[in-house]
C-alpha cells in the first residue's frame, strides 16, 4: 500500500486530534523543515512561509490515501494548499513530504510556541469533531472525491 508523508507543525501532531479525525493514532517521526518559519494567523492556526536559515521542528506522519484526504479536509483546502518539500529526519536522512501552506493569511500574530495552535485545545477538539462529522456525511453520501492526491 502506498504511503503519503505529511510534515506537521501544528494540530495534526496531537494524538487526540488524530484519534478524532483518523480514528487511530498515526505513526510519527521527528523531523525538521529547513528554510521555513512558523507564523500564526488571527484565526489561531499556524502556517509556514519560506525563511532562509530558519528551521521548524515537527513530525512526519505516514498516511494512507484516505487519511491524506481526511488531512486535506482538516486543513480546509483551498485555505491551506499542499506542497511537496524536502524534510530532514532525525537520523539526517532527507525525505520528500507534503506540507500545508496557508493561502489567504488575514493578519500575522505572535506564535504560542508552547502549543500546537494559538487556540485552546478544547476549541481545536470541538472543531475536529465537527470536521469528522462532515467527513462522515460526505462518505455516507458519496459526495467526495479523493482527487489528485
Query: Domains in the chain, please, with CATH?
Result: 4-141 (3.10.490.10)
**Residue ranges, the chain, pLDDT below 50:** 148-149
- Residue 52 has what pLDDT? 97
What's the pLDDT score for residue 78?
Answer: 84
Contact 31, 13 (CB under 8 A): no
Q: 146, 132, 124: which is closest to 24 by C-alpha? A: 132
pLDDT of res. 37: 96
- Which three three-digit cell numbers place residue 52? 532562509
| 42 SS3 class | coil
Amino acid at each position: 500500500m502506498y504511503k503519503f508523508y505529511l510534515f506537521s507543525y501544528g494540530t495534526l501532531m496531537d494524538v487526540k486530534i488524530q484519534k478524532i479525525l483518523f480514528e487511530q493514532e498515526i505513526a510519527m517521526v521527528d523531523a525538521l523543515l529547513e528554510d521555513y518559519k512558523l507564523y500564526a494567523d488571527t484565526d489561531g492556526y499556524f502556517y509556514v512561509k519560506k525563511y532562509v536559515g530558519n528551521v521548524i521542528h515537527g513530525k512526519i506522519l505516514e498516511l494512507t490515501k484516505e487519511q491524506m484526504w481526511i488531512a486535506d479536509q482538516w486543513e480546509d483546502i483551498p485555505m491551506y494548499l499542499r506542497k511537496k518539500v524536502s524534510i530532514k529526519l532525525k537520523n539526517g536522512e532527507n525525505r520528500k513530504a507534503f506540507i500545508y501552506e496557508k493561502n489567504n493569511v488575514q493578519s500575522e500574530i505572535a506564535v504560542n510556541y508552547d502549543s500546537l495552535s494559538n487556540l485552546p485545545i478544547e476549541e481545536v477538539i470541538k472543531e475536529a469533531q465537527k470536521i469528522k462529522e462532515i467527513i462522515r456525511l460526505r462518505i455516507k453520501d458519496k459526495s467526495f472525491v479523493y482527487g489528485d492526491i
